[in-house]
Amino acid sequence: MNKYFKVAMFYTSFIPLWITILFIDILSIIRDGSSPYTEIIEIVLILLGLLFSILIITKTITSVSHEHGVKYKIIHAEQEKGITSEFLLSYILPLFAFNFTQWDGAIMFSVYYGILMFLCVRNNNVYANLFFEIRNYKFYNCELQWTAEPDVPTTQPMIIGQKNLCANKGNTVEIICLDKPFYLMKS
């Protein structure tokens, strides 16, 4: 698995911001269509970014889900819940300080966003994601015991799955590595 999956996860986690910027740009074109180049470029780039990100995520999950997984016993599972509001308050709200209808604001935003993406992808901080929420996937911090070798120390992966792992403690789950520390639970 390469870094494109994490970048796509990061990009789609900003869907509320992209929708807001699209609204601002379309409104700016309607109100003052004299020089809409910045807005048109932003609209095209945002839509292309969303299209490619959704395709990368969907293709990755589809291709990985056909692979043979490894079975683990769930020792402990906790759903990531608070990170969504923390993510919105920490990352998305400050981005509204930029004027996206002006070149300088778009460039300042691009620099800020690029640095934030580099740091978040590098440090695996890509949990809050509206695209995954819509598809009913949740993120779980788990402690798992490998069923093939029960004497091996437990592992603590971040599992992305549609099944409630908190209600399945003690049961066996089959997982596939997406890109450490992220694993996909087979349905």
Angle at 46 (CA atoms; ends 23, 49), nearest 5 degrees:
150
- CB within 8 Å of 30: residues ≥ 6 apart: none
Q: Which tens digits make up the pLDDT trace of 131-173? A: 888 888 888 989 999 888 888 888 888 888 888 888 888 889 9
- Give me 102's structure tokens: 């002006």
Q: Which tens digits make up the pLDDT trace of 37-50? A: 888 999 999 999 99
Mean pLDDT across 82-97 = 66
- Ranges of each domain in the chain: 4-185
Check whether 81 has a pLDDT greater than 90: no
Mean pLDDT across 102-108 = 85
pLDDT, position 40: 92
Q: How far apart are CA 157 and CA 178, in angstroms?
A: 11
